[in-house]
Amino acid sequence: MTTLIRYAVPADAAAIAAIYAPYVSDTAITFEIDPPPDAAEMARRLETVMARFPWLVAEREGRVLGYAYASEHRSRAAYRWGVDVGIYLAPEAHRRGLGRQLYLRLFHILRALGLYHAYAGITLPNAGSVGLHEACGFSLVGIYRRVGYKCAAWHDVGWWQLALQTHFDHPAEPRAFAALSPAERQALLVAPL
């Protein structure tokens, strides 16, 4: 079976919401609290995120099985070369290499936008997510202890960092995803990694 990695579109919002819902309602993996966002809210998030950063979906036989996206790391201007990243997979897509495919394509696009760092916050314990991030080159930089309360317990959050490219003393301004032409976007999706 062939997996297609492509940019998310508003029509994917219901599938994205369905993948995300169990993470919200049944786990502490995300600190978002019930009720899970519906398709309309996910469509709004897609539009907001994709003005600046990419949001990718993995599709197999017409079904969205996972997604990965980047978002603002911090609002102060000096942080503009870094992004937070997130990834969520349907249960049947776990441990099949799909997360790695999504992330590697996302990182390729982030480099092209002129970004230098990706950060991932992982609620602990979560061996699967830690394993995926470390396999993709992330390193642990610190742990916020007992920082979030969900599912009747306090949870730690570990922060991992990935250097996307070599640092320059005078970096060019990062580009917004929305500023890419359709041809540039397509080229980034199909370029060899």
pLDDT band per the 50, 70, 90 thresholds, residue 193: confident
The pTM (predicted TM-score) of the whole model is: 0.96
Show the domains of the chain with their CATH numbers.
3-190 (3.40.630.30)
Q: What single letter denotes the amino acid at residue 97?
A: G
Q: How far apart are CA 81 and CA 58, in angstroms?
A: 26
Each residue's pLDDT tens digit, 119-142 = 999 999 999 999 999 999 999 999
**What number of H helices and E strands is found in the chain?**
5, 7
